Amino acid sequence: MRIVHMRRASAFCYGLCFALGVIGCVNDRGIDDDEASASSAVTIDVNAAYIITGVESNKCVGVAAASTTANARLDIETCNGISSQRFRPEAMGGGFFRLRNEKSGLCADVLGVSQADGALVIQFTCGTGLNQQWSFTDVAAGVERLTARHSGKVLDVTGHSTADGTLLEQWTSNNGANQQFTLATAVAPFAPER
């Protein structure tokens, strides 16, 4: 995994790329960053927002019912790019990141600093707790495992379910597809959310 602190491209550039249907856009150095890092470990840009998608379900990690309240559960849901499905990584040192939800401003958190399998993954006021710090481990090309710093357990879609609303938990890593995720840089929608 590489960490980058890059200048954010203008909304016009993103809009132009989106309108033209371009998958990757050329940056100010003439390099398509997606192509440049395709064969390497994931690159985390702390200036970007990400959509996190479950490999097994092909559904996005979001906040249940798009809630903005503390203790709301994280779940998987049909991807639609709304702000409750976008997370901004914040470097916490040692290769760990807080994941701040764009809609609520709250961070992905393992409830009660639990060490147990099946502990709830919620959103909570961002702090420095190790239960809000996640690392990204390359599992395969473009596929990541997210590990909680405090417990060493990984983000897991409960019971291998692929249904909308399935809640997230932490679980001992078993290389299951329900513990594997892809990250894609999010582009804010052009229309306001309801």
- Count H helices, E strands: the chain? 2, 14
Helix (H) or strand (E) holding 121: strand 121-124
At 165 the three-state DSSP class reads coil
pLDDT confidence of residue 7: 36
Q: Where are the domains of the chain?
A: 45-185
Query: What is the chain's pLDDT, residue by residue, as a tens digit (194 residues)?
Result: 555 443 333 333 333 333 334 334 433 333 334 333 333 467 899 999 999 999 999 999 999 999 999 999 999 999 999 999 999 999 999 999 999 999 999 999 999 999 999 999 999 999 999 999 999 999 999 999 999 999 999 999 999 999 999 999 999 999 999 999 999 999 866 555 65
- Which residues lie closer than 8 Å to 49 by C-beta, 6 or more apart? 86, 87, 88, 102, 185, 186, 188
pLDDT confidence of residue 91: 98
Fold that domain 45-185 belongs to in CATH: Trefoil (Acidic Fibroblast Growth Factor, subunit A) (2.80.10)
pLDDT confidence of residue 194: 58
